[in-house]
């Protein structure tokens, strides 16, 4: 067996080991499971043990995992809750962060390379944060909604920027094609919003526990359709996956709660039980640790990029913080906003493929993204923990007893 074929057996085993390790140290330290997946991937990959090597099958499964991660992020966003001021403030913060990121990129890489760095440093890993917020029961809180608004903008707008500035076409043509995609996506969303879903929901429910599994098949068709449209238009496939999640949320908005929860649990099983872990494990496998260690300049850029993420995204996040937010909450908000990896992986890969970004600098950016996933959510949820428990206690008390 080749190293890539061994990976087809070994990565599922590591996917099982990751939650066991996370649970094992949880009484001492609450570390996101993603961290273990990344570290395990690095250990078995070419950088350390060399047991698993990149391969075409694993590469495609990893792409599916990344698409599913963005689909789940899009499906969990309540756009009505973050519409208006939260979305506007988050968008302004992202634009500020993009300009600061490009400014930093100008000092490191010439021409288009600075745009790659700017997009990477202005991103937020909403798909990574959603499971953390869900596990902490923060999604429905004002804090969780603020993080969701920041993350939605920090994940969606970088995809727009990638499609315009890093397209193989000229910017005006790329913008026109992107507009075409937006119009088509808006049409799909409008149809999903206006069309009656009663029979569709009933069919979902009727096949929940049969081999038909129509709800799951429908979702996979939806993802394939919008991702395929993105690819045909030479846009980033993650744009289609994200929109597919938003469309799915609209379709299921009026479904019976029990049926919607049942379908969602099946999608979570496919995403977080199978495809998403493969993406993070494979990201560890393909991480060019040797290239990073061989370049003193790139190695020195890792902590600088890590700090830049916190400064750029953390500062921008303060525009979205509520007026009464204290220092702990603002710090936690900034750290969660500065958590980035999927967009960083995607945009640096494009930069390296197009020859506008050095592979060592790309490895430094990905390394900083990995460290941001390791450090920032951990510290943020520790800071947020006491406040979250207090909020829960206050909500549990009848009015008048506070």
Q: What is the pLDDT along the chain (402 residues), one digit of tens a residue?
A: 787 778 888 999 999 999 999 888 877 777 778 889 989 999 999 988 999 998 889 999 999 998 998 898 888 877 777 777 878 888 898 999 899 999 998 888 877 789 999 999 999 988 788 878 877 788 778 888 888 889 888 888 888 888 777 766 566 777 788 888 878 887 887 777 777 777 888 888 888 888 888 888 999 999 999 999 888 888 888 888 988 988 888 888 888 888 888 888 999 899 999 999 999 999 899 888 888 888 898 899 999 999 999 999 988 888 888 877 888 889 999 999 999 888 898 888 888 888 888 889 999 999 999 899 888 988 888 888 744 444 544 444 444 444
What is the C-alpha to C-alpha distance for residues 274 and 222, in angstroms, rounded to an integer? Answer: 19
In a domain, 191, yes or no: yes
Query: How far is C-alpha 150 from the chain's CA centre?
Result: 12
In a domain, 401, yes or no: no
What confidence score (pLDDT) does residue 168 get? 61
In a domain, 402, yes or no: no
Report field, pTM of the whole predicted structure over 0.85: no
Neighbours of 218 (CB within 10 A): 17
Quote the tokens at residue 179.
């507009």
What confidence score (pLDDT) does residue 17 get? 93
pLDDT tens readout for residues 4-60: 778 888 999 999 999 999 888 877 777 778 889 989 999 999 988 999 998 889 999
In contact, 31 and 22? CB cutoff 8 Å: yes
In a domain, 253, yes or no: yes
Quote the tokens at residue 8.
């087809």
How many structural domains comprise the chain?
A: 1
Helices marked H in 195-288: 198-206, 214-232, 237-251, 257-270, 276-286
N-terminal to C-terminal alpha carbon distance within the chain: 65
In a domain, 319, yes or no: yes
Q: Provide the CB-side half-sphere exposure for 78 (13 A, CA).
A: 12
pLDDT tens readout for residues 55-71: 889 999 999 998 998 89
Domain interval for residue 258: 3-396
Neighbours of 298 (CB within 10 A): 22
What confidence score (pLDDT) does residue 170 get? 63
- Quick one: 5 exposed, middle or buried, by C-beta within 10 A (0-12, 13-18, 19+)? middle
What is the C-alpha to C-alpha distance for residues 280 and 128, in angstroms, rounded to an integer? Answer: 10
CATH of the domain at 354: 1.20.1530.20
In a domain, 200, yes or no: yes
In a domain, 113, yes or no: yes
In a domain, 111, yes or no: yes
């Amino acid at each position: 067996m080749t190293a890539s074929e061994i990976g087809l057996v070994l990565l599922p085993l590591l996917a099982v080991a990751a939650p066991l390790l996370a649970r094992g140290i949880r009484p001492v330290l609450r570390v996101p499971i993603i961290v273990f997946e990344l570290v395990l991937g690095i250990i078995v990959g070419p950088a350390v043990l060399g047991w698993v090597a990149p391969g075409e099958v694993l590469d495609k499964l990893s792409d599916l995992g990344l698409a599913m991660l963005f689909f789940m992020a899009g499906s969990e966003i309540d756009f009505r809750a973050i519409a208006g001021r939260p979305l506007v403030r988050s968008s302004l913060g992202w634009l500020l962060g993009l300009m600061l990121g490009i400014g930093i990129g100008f000092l490191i890489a010439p021409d288009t390379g600075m745009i790659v760095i700017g997009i990477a440093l202005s991103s937020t890993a909403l798909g990574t944060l959603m499971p953390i917020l869900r596990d902490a029961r923060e999604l429905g809180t004002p804090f969780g909604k603020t993080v969701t608004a920041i993350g939605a903008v920090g994940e969606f707008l970088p995809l727009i920027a990638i499609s315009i500035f890093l397209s193989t076409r000229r910017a005006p043509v790329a913008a026109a094609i992107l507009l075409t995609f937006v119009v088509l996506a808006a049409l799909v969303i409008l149809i999903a919003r206006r069309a009656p879903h009663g029979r569709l929901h009933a069919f979902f429910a009727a096949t929940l526990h049969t081999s038909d599994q129509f709800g799951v098949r429908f979702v996979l068709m939806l993802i394939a359709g919008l991702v395929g449209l993105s690819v045909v238009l030479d846009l980033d496939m993650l744009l289609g996956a994200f929109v597919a999640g938003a469309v799915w949320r609209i379709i299921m908005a009026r479904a019976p709660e029990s049926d919607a929860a049942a379908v969602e649990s099946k999608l979570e099983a496919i995403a977080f039980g199978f495809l998403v872990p493969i993406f993070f494990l494979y990201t560890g496998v393909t991480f060019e640790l040797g290239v990073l260690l061989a370049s003193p300049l790139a190695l020195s850029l890792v902590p600088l990029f890590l700090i830049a993420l916190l400064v750029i995204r953390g500062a921008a996040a303060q525009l979205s913080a509520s007026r009464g937010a204290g220092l702990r909450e603002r710090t936690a908000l900034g750290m969660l906003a500065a958590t980035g990896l999927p967009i960083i992986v995607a945009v640096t890969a494009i930069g390296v493929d197009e020859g506008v970004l050095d592979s060592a600098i790309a490895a430094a950016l990905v390394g900083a993204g990995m460290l941001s996933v390791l450090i920032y959510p951990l510290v943020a949820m520790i800071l947020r923990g006491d406040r979250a428990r207090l909020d829960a206690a206050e909500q549990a008390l009848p009015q008048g007893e506070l």
